[in-house]
């Protein structure tokens, strides 16, 4: 059993590039973070910053043109990048680490009832017979609020919220220790989105599982996560306790994200925007990747890449302002 004081997952100096005809795309560049048992971490940033690529690297679901250049992903003391593929498929994916994919309509098989898809993972990894697997699938559908009565329904017969709940049930099929949720409320309306987020948080607490939420939505992270990690241009620019980071963000990019986030509390104010666009990862700028958009950019920012500076225990920022 994993000690609650130890990291269930530890990503160390992870570097992953996509090989293209124009050159390597530096999608994940020296990313490091940890996650303890029962914790929820929000991986946040603009589109194209490397969030989903980091998630796919952990799950070893990368396309053929992707290559891990450096680093390690340690889960329960084992480096996931060194485990043979057959062993990873049988003993890790779904059984220990599962995923809630973005867009349940595309992730669910249109020609298979949802109960078949959930029970398939159970039979493969838990070695139960069909009847036992279907019984567990029915209980999981009850757990997520879909109801066992819908076990024979196809994806097109369910609403968007129901499909997303089925994806969550599938992610819990083999009682994993870690669930990675990639934009779990995409295309859902505000009411259903809030229900799904509450359910994820309730299940995390009830089952004591760790969760990584990959999103650009700060409200989602604030709702269900205790820790936050901000990514920009493939790099981790700030990470720490979510309340501390939200109340006193250190990195200029984090400050910009929070300033651009609307709030229903307090007086009305004009939202600020971050000027410019994220850099081309085929040819990122020299020095700090954020310096072309940063209001505090100095000469050193244009020449040298900033190292990580510890603000407090478990609160790290990569910015020359704090060196």
pTM across the whole model: 0.90
Is 137 contained in some domain? yes
Domain boundary among 175, 203, 232: 175
Residue 87 sits in the same domain as residue 159: no
CA–CA distance from 117 to each of 3, 104, 148, 161 (Å)?
Answer: 33, 13, 14, 17
Same domain, residue pair 90 and 109: no
Same domain, 127 and 263: no
Q: Are residues 169 and 183 in the same domain?
A: no
Residue 85 belongs to a domain: yes
251: in domain? yes
Q: What is the CATH number of the domain that holds 60?
A: 3.40.50.300
Confidence at residue 4, expressed as pLDDT on a 0 to 100 scale: 45
Residues 186 and 81 in one domain: yes
Q: How far is CA 187 from CA 79, 107, 111, 154, 193, in A?
A: 35, 13, 22, 19, 9
CA distance 180 to 139: 21
In a domain, 282, yes or no: no
Number of domains in the chain: 2
Structural domain ending residue among the three candidates 233, 254, 269: 269
CB atoms within 10 A of CB 206: 9
DSSP state of 285: P
Q: How many residues does the chain have?
A: 323
Report the pLDDT value the prediction gives residue 276, as an integer from 0 to 100: 87
Co-location of 161 and 218 in the same domain: no
User: How far, in Å, CA of 41 to CA of 227, rounded?
Assistant: 5
Residues 181 and 265 reside in one and the same domain: yes
- Residues 25 and 119 grouped into a single domain: no
Final residue belonging to a domain, choices 269, 286, 311: 269
Q: What is the pLDDT along the chain (323 residues), one digit of tens a residue?
A: 344 457 899 999 999 999 999 999 999 999 999 999 999 999 999 888 999 999 999 999 999 999 999 999 999 999 999 999 999 998 999 899 999 987 777 788 889 999 999 999 899 888 889 999 999 999 999 988 889 999 999 999 998 888 888 999 999 989 899 999 988 877 677 777 888 888 888 888 888 999 999 988 888 888 889 999 999 999 999 999 999 999 999 999 999 999 888 776 667 777 788 888 889 998 889 999 999 999 999 999 999 999 999 998 889 999 999 87
Is residue 299 in some structural domain? Answer: no
Q: Do residue 21 and residue 124 come from a single domain?
A: no
The 3-state DSSP class for residue 22 equals coil
Measure the CA–CA gap between 171 and 160, rounded to whole angstroms: 17
Considering the domain architecture, whether residues 188 and 46 belong to the same structural domain is answered as: yes
Residue 281 lies in a domain: no
| One domain, residues 144 and 216 | no
Could you tell me if 192 and 249 lie in one domain?
yes
Q: 181: domain range?
A: 7-96+177-269
Indicate whether 298 belongs to any domain: no
The CA distance from 280 to 131, in Å, is 52
Q: Confirm whether 64 is domain-assigned.
A: yes
């Amino acid at each position: 059993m994993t000690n609650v004081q130890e990291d269930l997952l530890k990503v160390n100096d992870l570097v992953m590039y996509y090989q293209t005809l124009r050159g390597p795309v530096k999608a994940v560049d020296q990313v490091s973070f940890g996650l303890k048992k029962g914790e929820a971490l929000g991986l946040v940033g603009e589109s194209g910053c490397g969030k989903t690529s980091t998630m796919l690297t952990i799950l070893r679901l990368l396309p053929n043109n992707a290559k891990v250049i450096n680093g390690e992903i340690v889960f329960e003391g084992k480096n996931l990048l060194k485990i043979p593929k057959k062993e990873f498929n049988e003993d890790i994916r779904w059984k220990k680490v599962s995923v809630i994919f973005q867009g349940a309509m595309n992730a669910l098989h249109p020609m298979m009832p949802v109960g078949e898809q959930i029970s398939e993972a159970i039979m493969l990894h838990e070695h139960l017979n069909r009847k036992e697997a279907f019984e567990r699938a029915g209980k999981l559908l009850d757990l997520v609020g879909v109801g066992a009565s819908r076990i024979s329904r196809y994806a097109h017969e369910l609403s968007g919220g129901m499909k997303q709940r089925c994806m969550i049930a599938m992610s819990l099929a083999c009682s994993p220790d870690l669930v990675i949720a990639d934009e779990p409320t995409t295309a859902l309306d505000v009411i259903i989105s809030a229900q799904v987020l509450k359910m994820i948080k309730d299940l995390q607490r009830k089952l004591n599982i760790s969760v990584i939420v990959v999103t650009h939505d700060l409200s989602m992270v604030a709702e269900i996560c205790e820790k936050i990690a901000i990514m920009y241009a493939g790099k981790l620019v700030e990470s720490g306790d979510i309340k501390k980071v939200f109340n006193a963000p250190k990195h200029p990019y984090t400050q910009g994200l929070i300033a651009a986030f609307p709030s229903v509390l307090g007086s009305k104010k004009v939202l600020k925007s971050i000027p410019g666009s994220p850099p081309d990862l085929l040819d990122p700028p020299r020095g700090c990747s954020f310096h072309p958009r940063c209001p505090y950019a100095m000469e050193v920012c244009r020449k040298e890449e900033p190292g990580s500076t510890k603000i407090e225990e478990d609160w790290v920022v990569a910015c020359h302002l704090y060196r």
